Amino acid sequence: MRFSTSKHTLVGGVAAAVLAASAGLGASATAAAAPGDTPLNVTSQAASQTVENLGLNARQAKGIQRHLQVRGYNPGTIDGYLGTDSWKAMQRSLRDYHGYTGAIDGIVGPNTIKALQRMLKEFYDYTGAIDGIAGDGTRAAWARCGSAWADHYGY
């Protein structure tokens, strides 16, 4: 019994360390205790999905997910983590309205970022280049977008 408990503790500790390291959180932070206003970017080996919030906190990401859902794009569970399903929904929306021509694969690559930048330029005061790089200006405009939708939907 004691071996089993120790084994679970060791495995849980290793999993937490892998999550923290892959998320770039460093040794002083934990992946499990992310409050609603902390930007989330988590990669998990166990879950076959990468979360890429591009600096959004869980509240802002929920606003994005809810907005996609209301517009008829299924983001999956509204949980504040922009994973593959959320990004597939976003890619469909970007295809329909902002010139995205890439695969609907849920991968946040340069083509997805370029279409996102076009949307952000049109609606959320993005003033940078349409270059496919999610730099500070893109992330700031994305945060304005997420906050607006979170406020609108009461998150």
37-30-48-97 Cα dihedral, nearest 10 degrees: 20
Phi, psi (5° rounding) for residue 133?
-110, 125
Q: What is the model's pLDDT at position 49?
A: 58
Those residues whose C-beta lies under 8 Å from the C-beta of residue 27, and which sit 6 or more positions away, are: 20
> Does pLDDT of 37 surpass 90?
no
* pTM attached to this predicted model: 0.70
Q: What is the pLDDT of residues 117-136, one digit of tens each?
A: 999 999 999 999 999 999 99
Phi, psi (5° rounding) for residue 14?
-65, -45
Distance (Å, whole) CA 127 – CA 12: 44
Strands, E, within 24-150: which ranges?
none
Q: What is the pLDDT of residues 52-74, one digit of tens each?
A: 999 999 999 999 999 999 999 99
**How does the average pLDDT of the chain come out, rounded?**
78
